[in-house]
Amino acid sequence: MSRAFVREDAFEDAQAEALRRQRPGAPVPKPMTRRGVAALEAMLAEALAAGDAAMAEALSARLRAAQPVEGGPGPGGTAALGAVVAIDDGSGPRRVVLVGEDETDLVPDGLSWRSPLARALLGAVAGDVVTWVRPAGDLEVDVLSVEAPDGD
């Protein structure tokens, strides 16, 4: 079977389904940085001020599901949710910010923690080389630095 058709997040999906069965209609908790929560709250305030009920309901649902976490590097400077990670995948250095799946559109350079690249980076420290498993073939990625977001 092609790698493109293999679900790597089946375990998380099974956990989410179990939570849905326990509490029908309840949102499945999704990790999100406090910055992401603040950004959604600001967007909700704008939607309410504009009288956009549909947008306000959609944002409220995202906020109900949000499970706020402290953002930034983990113990020992490891890449964790909210950390800014500078990497080089052979095409030149760039930075990514590891964020919750519901905040990738809220943070410049945001990369969902569920993406294959973020999964490879989680737990890495500066100087590590991680393997990014991709359908196009595995790629070695150098971790150049792991830092807190600007302003933290």
Spatial separation of the C-alpha atoms in residues 129 and 144, rounded to whole Å = 9
pLDDT at 72: 86
What domain count does the chain have?
Answer: 1
Task: Indicate which CATH number applies to the domain containing 60.
Answer: 3.10.50.30
Mean pLDDT of 70-95: 93
Residue 43 lies in a domain: yes
Mean pLDDT of 18-29: 60
Handedness of CA 2, 11, 15, 131 (dihedral sign): negative
User: How does residue 64 score in pLDDT terms, banded at 50, 70 and 90?
Assistant: very high
pLDDT at 4: 44
pTM: 0.77
Domain that holds residue 104: 3-147
Closest to 101 measured CA to CA, from 120, 81, 84: 81
Residue 33 neighbours by CB under 8 Å, 6+ apart? 68, 69, 70, 71, 81, 82, 99, 100, 103, 107
Residue 152 lies in a domain: no
Mean pLDDT of 8-25: 54
Kindly state the percentage of the chain with pLDDT values over 70: 81
Answer with the residue of higher pLDDT: 148 or 19.
148
